[in-house]
Amino acid sequence: MKIPNFADIRAAKARISSFVNSTPLLTNKTINELSGAEIHFKCENFQKVGAFKFRGACNSVFALDDQSASKGVATHSSGNHAQALALAAKMRGIPATIVMPNNSPQVKKDAVAGYGAEIVFCEPTLEARESTLDKVIAEKGHTFIHPYDNYNVICGQGTAAMEILEEAHDFDAVIAPVGGGGLLSGTAIATKCINPSIKVYAAEPEGADDAYRSFKAGEIIPSVKPNTICDGLLTSLGKLNFEIISKNVDEIFTANDDEIKSAMRLVWERMKIIIEPSSAVPLAVVLKNKELFAGQKIAIIISGGNVDLGKLVF
Amino acid sequence: MKIPNFADIRAAKARISSFVNSTPLLTNKTINELSGAEIHFKCENFQKVGAFKFRGACNSVFALDDQSASKGVATHSSGNHAQALALAAKMRGIPATIVMPNNSPQVKKDAVAGYGAEIVFCEPTLEARESTLDKVIAEKGHTFIHPYDNYNVICGQGTAAMEILEEAHDFDAVIAPVGGGGLLSGTAIATKCINPSIKVYAAEPEGADDAYRSFKAGEIIPSVKPNTICDGLLTSLGKLNFEIISKNVDEIFTANDDEIKSAMRLVWERMKIIIEPSSAVPLAVVLKNKELFAGQKIAIIISGGNVDLGKLVF
């Protein structure tokens, strides 16, 4: 298994920098006082399509050679990766096909269609997703861009941490949420290559703690019947992601949904920014482990801001 | 009636610059496409206490000579000005007393008390507010800082427009919401002094259109039984504010609550920032009058981001 290195992430940054938003690092005095730490929030909720996912999708699309690119890209996703890949393909002017479960919310279908991608619906099972995708690829010659278990996707996601560490080198820790592990693995490689003394931590909901258990067990333990408000963190770790995480991540912490809701509300109320539940897990973890993080300078990656305003958890 | 001039606003900026946040100007591609204009949002929702009001309160408190300051400040308000004055007084280390109606929401009482101000409750009538405030001032020798009909408050509010025009001179128009007129009058003076060719527009809810009617009539018409979701824009214009507005504002536009809600939702969903209903009126006005603003470069002042997340209007 080929592991991305820092040169790959640097190349990704050069490749995508004219397409992605260079998002701000924000701080908040009240949250610093409450936590006893100095927290810098990397606002990927301000990224295109409202989530860090655009970085990886964009890098994957623009890393293709012209011939492969002209044949288009495909993925199965009903979430942020679907929109991200659709927009990246649109920017390169190539076709994209997204396999989506037929019970996906209308707002997500509309968003993907709005970026000009073709949607192929399937039954809402993993098996149907994969077989439908295989069929699409066989027919159209598309390149499959996996949402997280993909070399170029991981490199793209690592550019968020690169941007953080270009603004300041002296962080004690960087914390990212973990679902499939795309953001976390990219973050870990970028951070450890720039400064190995910076700790890389992951934050995961208790109701979907397969990454925590996998990390402790030393092998991938699949996510079975996850139960959490963090709709972006339900999947199992990818193989390449697990390989990177087990070597480069210092610790995985968990928080329960009440702690996550409370951290999310704190960010909305005090910072006046909209973050999705998955993005609140790192802050929940810091507030839960104050003695551990006291006095530290910490970067937290806010993964995205895509919430259904009609179904708020407050 | 002494009208503030540009030197006063410049002095205000120098006085408060180490205490206020220099807030960002944000743009959004989708909103530009929808409106046909190039809109730059001045994010006073990221200001201290979550609203532009801190600028005026801060300028008023720090403009006092030492002797007056030592005797403290007072106001009557249940909104953002109350918190703003309480925080400004705390920063200068002087006493503050806030007269609040006894039916104010607990969260607002807590916020004011949290900044160390003394709260004196009164019956929820204008008469009780004023008589209670008079009593407080007579007893304590406090200086009364009116929420908007106040020279130094107006100068402080004008610093937001100064910051905008320091970033770029070439705006076609600046638009601010109007309630009592503190923000609008400060914005008008600052803008017209820097570049008289920039239009200054106000945006007001139809359900509280007293400023629109006053502007057209040439005299202050009081706000009677206003009915709008814009809880920050219910009051009548102040005298000094009206004097400034009638000479320096080019036009006042109105929008109804449905248009305001829809503009607010657009900002939340697309920009991932939290703005209060009052802040959405200028965008509602631009979207309602597309032909008028087409192709223009417009600055909109987002007045604040203080919303009760338990009572959302979506």
Which chain B residue's Cα is nearest to A44? B272
pLDDT exceeds cutoff 90 at B311: no
Query: How confident is the model over B219-238, as a mean pLDDT?
Result: 95
Which chain B residue's Cα is nearest to A272? B274
pLDDT in tens, chain A (314 residues): 899 999 999 999 999 999 999 999 999 999 999 999 999 999 999 999 999 999 999 999 999 999 999 999 999 988 899 999 999 999 999 999 999 999 888 888 988 999 999 999 999 888 999 999 999 999 999 999 999 999 999 999 999 999 999 999 899 999 999 999 999 999 999 999 999 999 999 999 999 999 999 999 999 999 999 999 999 999 999 999 999 999 999 999 999 999 999 999 999 999 999 999 999 999 999 999 999 999 999 999 999 999 988 877 66
pLDDT score for A51:
97
pLDDT score for B314:
67
B274 touching A (Cβ < 8 Å): yes
pLDDT score for B22:
95
pLDDT score for A282:
98
Q: Between A103 and B7, name the one with better pLDDT.
A: B7
Q: A275: which chain B residues are within 8 Å (Cβ-Cβ)?
A: 272
pLDDT score for A296:
98
Considering only CB atoms, A309 lies closest to which of B24, B268, B310, namely: B268
Is A272 close to B312, i.e. CB distance below 8 A? no
Report the first-to-last Cα separation within chain A, whole angstroms.
Answer: 43
Q: What is the ipTM of this complex?
A: 0.92
Considering only CB atoms, A309 lies closest to which of B265, B273, B275, namely: B265
Is A50 close to B305, i.e. CB distance below 8 A? no
Distance CA A34, CA A287 (A): 8
Considering only CB atoms, A273 lies closest to which of B269, B272, B309, namely: B272
Count how many pairs of residues, chain A against chain B, have C-beta atoms within 8 Å.
36
Distance CA B137, CA A130 (A): 74
Is A265 close to B309, i.e. CB distance below 8 A? yes
Q: A160 - beta bridge partners?
A: none
Band (pLDDT 50/70/90 cuts) for residue B12 is very high
DSSP assignment of A118-139 equals EEEEE-SSHHHHHHHHHHHHHH
pLDDT score for A314:
67
B139 touching A (Cβ < 8 Å): no
Q: A262: which chain B residues are within 8 Å (Cβ-Cβ)?
A: none
B308 touching A (Cβ < 8 Å): no
Q: What is the pTM of this model?
A: 0.94
pLDDT score for B108:
85
Cα B143 to its chain centre, rounded Å, is: 21
Query: How confident is the model over B74-90, as a mean pLDDT?
Result: 94
Q: Is A67 helix (H, G, I), strand (E, B) or coil?
A: helix
pLDDT score for A9:
97
CA angle A141–A144–A150, rounded 5-degree value: 150
Is B309 close to A309, i.e. CB distance below 8 A? no
**pLDDT tens-digit map of B183-221:** 999 999 999 999 999 999 999 999 999 999 999 999 999
Q: What is the CA radius of gyration of chain A?
A: 18
B265 touching A (Cβ < 8 Å): yes
Q: B310: which chain A residues are within 8 Å (Cβ-Cβ)?
A: 314
pLDDT score for A308:
86
pLDDT score for B126:
84
Q: B273: which chain A residues are within 8 Å (Cβ-Cβ)?
A: 272-274
The answer to whether the CB of A118 falls within 8 A of the CB of A142 is: no
Q: Which two tokens stand for residue A111?
A: 């968003």
Nearest to A116 by CA among A140, A138, A85: A85
Is B272 close to A309, i.e. CB distance below 8 A? no
Q: Is A143 helix (H, G, I), strand (E, B) or coil?
A: strand
Is B269 close to A309, i.e. CB distance below 8 A? yes
String of b and e for B75-96 (b: at least 16 CB within 10 Å)? bbbbbbbbbbbbbbbbbbebbb
Is B274 close to A268, i.e. CB distance below 8 A? yes
Which long-range contacts does B108-117 make (Cβ < 8 Å, 24+ apart)?
A: B108/B78, B108/B79, B108/B82, B108/B83, B111/B49, B111/B83, B112/B82, B112/B83, B112/B86, B115/B83, B115/B86, B115/B87, B115/B89, B115/B90, B116/B86, B116/B89, B116/B90, B117/B82, B117/B85, B117/B86, B117/B89, B117/B90
Is A45 close to B314, i.e. CB distance below 8 A? no
Q: Which two tokens stand for residue B301?
A: 């002042």
Place of tokens 């096909």: A97
Is B46 close to A272, i.e. CB distance below 8 A? yes
